[in-house]
Amino acid sequence: ELDAAIAPWLASMYRQHQGMEQGTHYWSVSWLPQSQFADLQGNLNDDSELLGVVKRVLAAQSQAVPADVALAASADDALFATLCYLVANKQLRLLSVWSPTFALQLLEALPIWADDISEVLSNGDWCSRRESLARLNAPYAPKRAVELKRILALPRAALGAELWPDLALVSAWDTADAAPWAQQLKACFPQAAFEGKGLWATEGVVTIPIDGQYPLAYQSHFYEFEDLQNGGILASWELKEGDIVSPIITSSNGLLRYQLDDRVQVSGFWQGVPCLQFLGRRFGVDMVGEKMSPDAARVAMTQVAQQLGLEAISLMAVNGHEHHRPRYMALFSQENLNTPYVFRPDIAAAVEKELRGHFHYELARDLRQLEPIVAIVAQDGWRMCQDIAVAGGMIE
């Protein structure tokens, strides 16, 4: 069922972006949190398994980065190896990631690890990371090591175009909370076209990008939709432009009328098939793929508050800006505080520890897509929470 969505997506991609077949591709793997690396034991979480056998063989021949990077001993070493392979490969034509913050993080790490990357490429050896990356063959590209030093001396805006001059397409989320980060990523690669992702979930696929639109992947599952204005249930052929709905999927993996926690709007039709624009999560927050649910936030905040004799007020999402990645702010209240508010790194660490028990949050932190939590204890936490909301546009 997933392959039935992937095949037309890839066909559209190759049709629209000339030259993609002449170079290599980077498809970001489905990473695991640091705490689960030791449990891999050679079993990869390989996205290519979603493809048919023939497509899998063909895809393996074009990959710039082997899926085995996921077998590194740590998330940092896996990211480092990924950068080494990408820098070594000047013929990169496709850069496909889920969250744009992941690609931005790779670019930010490049000057930090530049000397180590140059050493690896010059010698074809992982050097100080040899033990962690023992299952991988280090790339050997001494000419690229020399080029890297020259490229890093250029203005940052020229970095992407100089590293991969033939890059044809960048693919990443570009709607809802990901929109500002997608704009930053576009600016990093002026030589390449940009394509947003369709709507994919762990449970199945809803839309795929085709010809600049995002039609329903109607050949993959059976779809129904909850009308979020009146609660009615609609079939896909009953959707009208402008409808705001939540997808319900029935699939061959055993899901029966499973409702996704997503809001989408019917933006039009492609050859009679409804096209859907992702608006965001219905009940949780998902800035970079962390999928923070209200229950997870409540349990973590309550646990810490009870331990320290505080009142838990709110766990707020802070979407960041050009120089800072997104993060969460934990707000607590304590009446007998002798100052209006105080930052508490110890409380932030306690909340962080609780939230790291959730797979997607831990993964986002390990991949540095989220900054560490900030914790504030205020005399009047409810008033501070209201002031923050009003400053963000809420009517008091």
The pLDDT, as a whole number, for residue 396 is 40
The pLDDT, as a whole number, for residue 356 is 92
- Distance, in Å, from the CA atom of 301 to the CA atom of 310, rounded to the nearest integer, reads 10
Answer yes or no: are the C-beta atoms of 103 and 192 closer than 8 Å: no
Answer yes or no: are the C-beta atoms of 227 and 13 closer than 8 Å: no
The pLDDT, as a whole number, for residue 51 is 63
Residues in the chain, pLDDT under 70: 30-58, 321-323, 390, 392-396
Structure tokens at 75: 């998330």
- Distance, in Å, from the CA atom of 195 to the CA atom of 285, rounded to the nearest integer, reads 23
Answer yes or no: are the C-beta atoms of 263 and 282 closer than 8 Å: yes
Answer yes or no: are the C-beta atoms of 45 and 188 closer than 8 Å: no
What's the whole-model pTM score?
A: 0.78
CA 47 vs. chain centroid, Å, equals 14
The pLDDT, as a whole number, for residue 54 is 66
CA 136 vs. chain centroid, Å, equals 24
As a whole number of angstroms, the longest Cα–Cα distance in the chain is 68
What are the CA-CA distances from residue 261 to residues 111, 201, 238, 249, 279 (Å)? 38, 10, 21, 12, 11
Answer yes or no: are the C-beta atoms of 120 and 172 closer than 8 Å: no
- Distance, in Å, from the CA atom of 182 to the CA atom of 176, rounded to the nearest integer, reads 10
- Rg (the chain; Cα; Å): 23
The pLDDT, as a whole number, for residue 275 is 97
The pLDDT, as a whole number, for residue 266 is 97
Structure tokens at 349: 């660490």
Answer yes or no: are the C-beta atoms of 376 and 328 closer than 8 Å: no
Side chain identity at residue 371, one-letter code: E
* DSSP-derived secondary structure letter, 125: S
Give me the half-sphere count of Cα atoms (radius 13 Å) on the Cβ side of residue 283: 10
The pLDDT, as a whole number, for residue 385 is 84
